[in-house]
């Protein structure tokens, strides 16, 4: 799977990032998202595969493109029979977030990215559009920190696993009122907090890499983004746990559905009988092979954003594979027009 799709998925996220970056700083988050969706879909439909979106822009009625259930790839197109033998191709499930952090793009803030994860059919947890309590930490703390423990306890464990004092730890938390107590607890325990306005996928994955100076992600963000983060962390060997938040009393605004009861019914209809279950990375991204690709739109901890120059752009992407156990940073120069002199900056 990796050999055939690795390079293609880099191009998918690159195209989405370039399209979105053209709207960086323009204050129009919906446009920054929409152009990323269109670019991602167009490039994805050129890949020789049978793909299906399991995490995307919403259900069919709400989202015209990359909606949940949409089939993507050349081999799903109406005229595919002439050049595709479906029996030769494995079916692939895809989770996408073409513009992770639309506000970050719209206001020129760091840390937005185009991102996707793929696996064999059934290999990614089809999370509903709810919230998820998340805990991400470096590989050295995998299975040792625990989302059921308090932040104070987890910081002690992290400090031991990483062999550094608690005040040398940095925890990323999304700046939301729902996290006020959590932020206070982390500070009281002696660690430092990096508050972000959006984009917890990048924060989660940063825990998987030494040198980012991020040692944990704690708090509640969106569930679909949690699955994408888990796919990367599974392949990186980092710690990731997620627990669905379906009670409007816990998160009062946003992706929280109508009522606790209606949300439980929805989860049951999706086959989730234990709504309080804590999932680990392996359960959220359980496929035999998991690939993850991201491309920076605006620069962040992990990747530089898109930089335009006359006639082209330069991007930085990250491809992580559970198959080859690699994380590759890919620096690409895109020439939009045929140059008179090829000058690769």
Tell whether the torsion through CA atoms of 257, 29, 176 and 159 is positive or negative.
positive
Nearer to ligand VTB, 221 or 300 (CB): 221
Total chain residues near ligand VTB (CB under 6 A): 12
Pairing state between β 113-120 and 290-296? antiparallel
Helices (H), the chain: 2-21, 29-44, 102-106, 151-162, 180-189, 200-206, 223-236, 260-269, 281-284
Stretch of 44-52, 151-159, 179-187, 219-227 contacting ligand VTB, by CB under 6 A: 219-227
Stretch of 41-49, 195-203, 205-213, 298-306 contacting ligand VTB, by CB under 6 A: 195-203
Nearer to ligand VTB, 100 or 280 (CB): 100
Q: Should residue 314 be labelled a site residue for ligand VTB when binding is judged by CB under 6 A? A: no
CB of 101 to ligand VTB, least distance (A): 5
Contact 66, 13 (CB under 8 A): no
Output DSSP code: residue 343.
-
CB of 342 to ligand VTB, least distance (A): 38
CB of 82 to ligand VTB, least distance (A): 39
Give bridge partners of residue 131 from the DSSP assignment: 222, 245
Nearer to ligand VTB, 210 or 250 (CB): 250
Q: Look at residues 90, 59, 98, 56 and name the one whose alpha carbon lies nearest to residue 73.
A: 90
Q: List the one residue from 16, 32, 201, 233 that touches ligand VTB (CB under 6 A).
A: 201
Q: Should residue 222 be labelled a site residue for ligand VTB when binding is judged by CB under 6 A? A: yes
CB of 222 to ligand VTB, least distance (A): 3
Q: Which two tokens stand for residue 104?
A: 């970050």
Helix (H) or strand (E) holding 300: none
Binding mask 96-135 for ligand VTB (x = CB under 6 A): ----xx----------------------------------
Q: Which two tokens stand for residue 186?
A: 């982390």
Q: Should residue 176 be labelled a site residue for ligand VTB when binding is judged by CB under 6 A? A: yes
Distance CA 119, CA 91 (A): 9
Contact 242, 285 (CB under 8 A): no
Q: List the one residue from 11, 225, 247, 280 that touches ligand VTB (CB under 6 A).
A: 225
Q: Which two tokens stand for residue 28?
A: 């129009």
Contact 296, 113 (CB under 8 A): yes
CB of 255 to ligand VTB, least distance (A): 6
* Sites for ligand VTB among residues 251-310 (CB under 6 A): 254-255
CB of 127 to ligand VTB, least distance (A): 11
Residues that bind ligand VTB (CB under 6 A): 100-101, 176, 198-201, 221-222, 225, 254-255
């Amino acid at each position: 799977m990796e050999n055939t799709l690795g390079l293609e998925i880099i191009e998918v996220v690159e195209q989405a990032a370039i399209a979105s970056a053209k709207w960086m700083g323009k204050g129009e988050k919906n446009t920054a998202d929409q152009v990323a969706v269109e670019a991602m879909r167009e490039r994805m439909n050129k890949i020789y595969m049978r793909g299906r979106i399991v995490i995307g822009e919403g259900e069919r009625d709400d989202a015209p493109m990359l909606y949940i259930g949409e089939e993507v790839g050349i081999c799903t197109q109406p005229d595919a029979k002439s050049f595709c033998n479906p029996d030769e191709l494995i079916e692939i499930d895809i989770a996408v977030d073409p513009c992770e952090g639309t506000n970050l793009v719209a206001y020129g803030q760091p840390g937005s990215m185009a991102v996707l994860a793929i696996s064999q059919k059934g290999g990614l947890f089809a999370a509903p559009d709810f919230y998820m309590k998340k805990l991400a930490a470096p590989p050295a703390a995998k299975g040792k920190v625990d989302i059921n423990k308090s932040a104070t306890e987890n910081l002690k464990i992290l400090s031991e696993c990483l062999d550094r004092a608690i005040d040398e730890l940095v925890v990323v938390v999304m700046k939301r009122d729902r996290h006020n107590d959590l932020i206070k607890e982390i500070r009281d325990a002696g660690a430092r907090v990096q508050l972000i306005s959006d984009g917890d996928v990048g924060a989660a994955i940063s825990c998987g890499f030494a040198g980012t100076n991020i040692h944990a992600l704690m708090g509640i963000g969106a569930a679909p983004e949690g699955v994408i983060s888990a796919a990367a962390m599974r392949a990186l060997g980092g710690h990731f746990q997620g627990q669905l938040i379906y009670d409007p009393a816990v998160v009062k605004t946003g992706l929280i559905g109508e009522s606790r009861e209606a949300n439980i019914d929805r989860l049951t209809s999706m086959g989730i009988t234990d709504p309080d279950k804590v999932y680990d990375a392996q359960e959220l991204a359980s496929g035999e092979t998991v690939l993850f690709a991201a491309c920076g739109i605006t620069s962040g901890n992990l990747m530089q954003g898109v930089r335009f120059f006359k006639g082209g752009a330069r991007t930085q992407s990250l491809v992580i594979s559970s198959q080859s156990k690699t994380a590759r940073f890919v620096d690409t120069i895109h020439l939009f027009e045929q140059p008179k002199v090829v000058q690769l900056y």
